[in-house]
Chains A and B, each alone.
Chain A
Amino acid sequence: MSKPLKQIHLAAHFPGVNNTTVWSDPSAGSHIEFSSFVEFAQIAERAKFDFLFLAEGLRLREQGGKIYDLDVVGRPDTFTVLAALAAVTDRLGLTGTINSTFNEPYEVARQFASLDHLSAGRAAWNVVTSWDAFTGENFRRGGFLPQEERYSRAKEFLATAHELFDSWHGDEILADQETGHFLREAKAGAFEHRGQHFDIQGQFNVPRSPQGRPVIFQAGDSEEGREFAASSADAIFSRHATLKEGQAFYRDVKDRLVRYGRDRDQLLILPAATFVLGDTEAEAQETAREVRRLQVSGATALKHLEFVWNRDLSSYDPDGPLPDVEPDLGEHTVARGRAQVRMYRDPLAIVREWREKAEANNWSIRDLVIETGNRQSFVGTPETVAAEIDELVQADASDGFILVPHITPGGLAPFADKVVPLLQERGVFRTEYAGTTLRDHLGIHHPDAESRNERVAS
């Protein structure tokens, strides 16, 4: 007997600060004006996507001591955009990345609880960590966490936020106009947390929100990141969008859930993916090549290599061979504020691998960056892309995808209009929202149920 078809989860990532955004395309609009976010969100909601996703940045990126100017620079505030989008959408989940290093639990918990109220249960938090003094220069607490402490702070931050969310059970507000009792008890929202990173107490001032707790997402591929997600998250954003890598990651993370007493379906695995569609397979491949050339200019390719070499490579010819100098293994100073820098933990090994590949394929610097950099995950006709997505999900390479179009804000429309109907025909994607909250869309149970049962039992 064949197992029932898995339902695919789809999300839309507003393209922002990275070189996947082709800002030079004449159809590319503003990445700041609210009208762009409205258009993007309404395309996603029209297509019945689970949620919209916004990334975050807290310091403009620099390269060689200068503000990086080749990609989109700048973005609006995550919370503010999501709250405003709640006014122009009805069902779409609203997910934002918020850093746990340069914030405090009381404030972030009240912002997410507020967003959940104001969106009637559609809020989600992608918890990320940071430690660097470079970003810290914009904040009161300054730079700085020892790198090994970033997950310990993040874990305690999230646990503390959960204590705050759970400090109201949902039945405290009577608002009985006759008797004059507004609250059932004076100590509503009381909490006390004494830990390594936070020593706080008092009363939380946002009553329990529609989802109980907002949905928690986590991104991160490291050992600590996987463990953090398995222990605490409702979904994990991964980078593994291919069949074999995806299946390995999927198995690894789902196996970890058991250790925390959680079922395998309590954590969704959602890789980020880009797409290029064409009327024919050949046309899609050709468009994808053009997009890659637009995303990776010669200057961008050289800058990309500098993440690994950690030295100025501007004198090299991007259409020539790889630099003959060795990477600078000292403190990383050339590229700052870049997530990618952290991916290259062993520059010598990366350089060796890249040189071998470039030599074997006769690649220039730009060719190498194009061939090894972020790739279009789905390139093809709507039919082949729908089939590929379905197959990956049914084969447990993921539970769905977070799609990042390369054009802002209209680039999602071709996927919404052409691929989604095919997934619906296959019976693997909703044709209408079944519920109203993001937890409903994701099929992740409501923590209220748990806490209510506990309260009844106790």
Chain B
Amino acid sequence: MTTPAPLHLAVALDGTGWHPASWRTENARPHALLTAPYWQDLITEAEHGLLDFVTIEDGLGLQSSHLTDPDDRTDQVRGRLDAVLVAARIAPRTRHIGIVPTAITTHTEPFHLSKALATLDYVSTGRAGVRVQISAKPHEAAHFGRRKIDPLPDGDYNSPAGQEAVRGLFDEAADYVEAVRRLWDSWEDDAEIRDVATGRFVDRDKLHYVDFEGEHFSVKGPSITPRPPQGQPIVTALGHASIPYRLIARSADVGYVTPHDADQARAVLAEIRAEQAAAGRADDTLHVFGDLVVFLDDEPGAARARRERLDALAGEPYTSDARIFAGTPAELADLLQELQAPGLTGFRLRPAVVADDLPAITRSLVPELQRRAAFRTSYEADTLRGLLGLPRPASRYATASA
């Protein structure tokens, strides 16, 4: 048997975990969710496990068990902090792990997000990324009052009609990422010259207007913030169907997909790679990670029992867009390697209960993968790009003045 290539591992942080009853477990700390120490502890644990990065979920409305509407439930975690600010708050006290907050492209300003992520890259010295997400939720649009979003035809993003309805929002997201990337490039790396002899602080020939014109917005530029340490922080997106796959293929450095078996992974990868080639990016490294919800326990059967207890507390079985795994770290390592075979380069694990499953990932799964030579044994780079094997891009404007 050949040794598989080392895989990349990220965890998706969301409240007390992805199971809606996770806040009711003994170690959950639901009262601490809005404090910095809570998030600091999680990222410290993730870094302890040498993970590539953490993502931080976000939204512009209260969490809901419905895909697009509020649900008026009082038995689940509700309320959360701005993910970019959480990321900034936890960055200075870690050294290696990447930090990837979620940003909603439908209601926010690309100029603001561009400088916020560039700054996150400065405060983390090169470990920033973003997960871009659309909002097709009518009630979130009402929080802004600037545009109306109609309810999805079948109440489902993933149906053909749902996909068609959100096509414009994904196109806007692609424009958004393009504008943000141009803003990151708008300062050449050596624009600050501090030339005392001529009294010039910057060389204005190395600052560039981005002049982005899209259907929904235009941005003049240049950015107010100089080019960040990574040149461009990494851009990530989650997809379940062709239209979001196209966004991943056109715009992302890392895409998250939700295959339930190796065949599905193969099919999704084929579609993304075709779109990537069509977008003229065939030679760029585009990671495609599999997303999995995980219940982990060293004791055989214990994870499944835990899942059943939580389902009973929640009053219904937990379902997810992603495959839900409950088992031992060795079983999960087997599954990851099986799903990796068709070409996934990493996984984003969603801990079902962050207090239990995050330490299980870092203290049991990671050593298991290391034993199989399938995961790093120390951080081999100081930047997120470095960890992901992505080169630091040159500014697209640099050649113009060279």
Q: Is A284 an interface residue (CB 8 A)?
A: no
Known A74-B224, A300-B199: A80·B85 in contact at CB below 8 Å: yes
Say yes or no: A138 contacts B79, CB within 8 Å. no
At the interface, is chain A mostly helix, strand, loop or mixed? loop
Say yes or no: A76 contacts B119, CB within 8 Å. yes
Looking at B211-219, B325-333, B334-342, B345-353, the stretch in contact with chain A turns out to be B211-219
Contact with B along A195-233 (1 / 0, CB 8 A): 000111111011100000000000000000000000000
Say yes or no: A107 contacts B120, CB within 8 Å. no
Question: Inside 8 A of B24's CB, which chain A residues have their CB?
Answer: 177, 180
Say yes or no: A81 contacts B59, CB within 8 Å. no
Say yes or no: A80 contacts B145, CB within 8 Å. no
Say yes or no: A115 contacts B85, CB within 8 Å. yes
Select which of B35, B78, B80 is within 8 A of A183 by beta carbon: B78
Count chain A CB atoms within 10 A of each CB in B75, B81, B86 and give the residue with the most. Answer: B81
Q: Is A140 an interface residue (CB 8 A)?
A: yes
Looking at B105-113, B262-270, B358-366, B379-387, the stretch in contact with chain A turns out to be B105-113
B44 CB → nearest A CB, Å: 12
Known A67-B207, A74-B226, A183-B74: A34·B144 in contact at CB below 8 Å: no
Q: Is B225 an interface residue (CB 8 A)?
A: yes
Q: With the chains together, A67 CA to B61 CA distance in Å?
A: 39
B393 CB → nearest A CB, Å: 19
Chain B: CB-nearest residue to A298 = B199
Question: Inside 8 A of B140's CB, which chain A residues have their CB?
Answer: 202
Residues A258-302 near B (CB distance < 8 A): 297, 299-300
Select which of A33, A117, A202 is within 8 A of B61 by beta carbon: A202
Question: Inside 8 A of A67's CB, which chain B residues have their CB?
Answer: 202, 204, 207, 222
Contact with A along B190-214 (1 / 0, CB 8 A): 0010101001111110010000000
Say yes or no: A87 contacts B220, CB within 8 Å. no
Residues A138-185 near B (CB distance < 8 A): 138-141, 168, 173, 175, 177, 180-185
Say yes or no: A76 contacts B82, CB within 8 Å. no
Looking at A53-61, A324-332, A345-353, the stretch in contact with chain B turns out to be A53-61
Q: With the chains together, A215 CA to B203 CA distance in Å?
A: 39
Say yes or no: A81 contacts B219, CB within 8 Å. no
Question: Inside 8 A of A87's CB, which chain B residues have their CB?
Answer: 36, 40, 89-93
Q: Is B177 an interface residue (CB 8 A)?
A: no
Q: Is B174 an interface residue (CB 8 A)?
A: no
Say yes or no: A83 contacts B146, CB within 8 Å. no
Select which of B63, B91, B216, B313 is within 8 A of A180 by beta carbon: B313
Question: Inside 8 A of A23's CB, which chain B residues have their CB?
Answer: 194, 201
Known A24-B196, A177-B30: A118·B78 in contact at CB below 8 Å: no
Question: Inside 8 A of B82's CB, which chain A residues have their CB?
Answer: 110-111, 114, 206
Q: Is B125 an interface residue (CB 8 A)?
A: yes
Q: Is B162 an interface residue (CB 8 A)?
A: no
Select which of A58, A79, A120, A299 is within 8 A of B84 by beta carbon: A79
Question: Inside 8 A of A66's CB, which chain B residues have their CB?
Answer: 204
Question: Inside 8 A of B25's CB, which chain A residues have their CB?
Answer: 177
Count chain B CB atoms within 10 A of each CB in A67, A80, A113 and give the residue with the most. Answer: A80
Count chain B CB atoms within 10 A of each CB in A73, A86, A198 and give the residue with the most. Answer: A73
Select which of A58, A110, A206 is within 8 A of B111 by beta carbon: A58
Q: Is A5 an interface residue (CB 8 A)?
A: no
Count chain B CB atoms within 10 A of each CB in A58, A83, A118 and give the residue with the most. Answer: A83
Contact with A along B117-158 (1 / 0, CB 8 A): 011101101000000000000011011111000000000000
* 21 A/B residue pairs, CB under 8 Å, sorted by A: A58-B224, A59-B224, A69-B201, A69-B202, A74-B223, A76-B119, A76-B225, A77-B119, A80-B120, A81-B123, A87-B92, A103-B109, A107-B60, A118-B35, A137-B219, A138-B109, A140-B216, A140-B217, A182-B75, A202-B140, A206-B34
State the A residues within 8 Å of B (CB): 23-24, 32-34, 38, 57-60, 66-67, 69-77, 79-81, 83-84, 86-88, 102-104, 106-107, 110-111, 113-115, 117-120, 137-141, 168, 173, 175, 177, 180-189, 198-203, 205-207, 297, 299-300
State the B residues within 8 Å of A (CB): 21, 23-25, 28, 30-31, 34-36, 40, 59-63, 70, 72-82, 84-86, 88-93, 107-109, 111-112, 115-116, 118-120, 122-123, 125, 139-140, 142-146, 187, 192, 194, 196, 199-204, 207, 216-226, 313
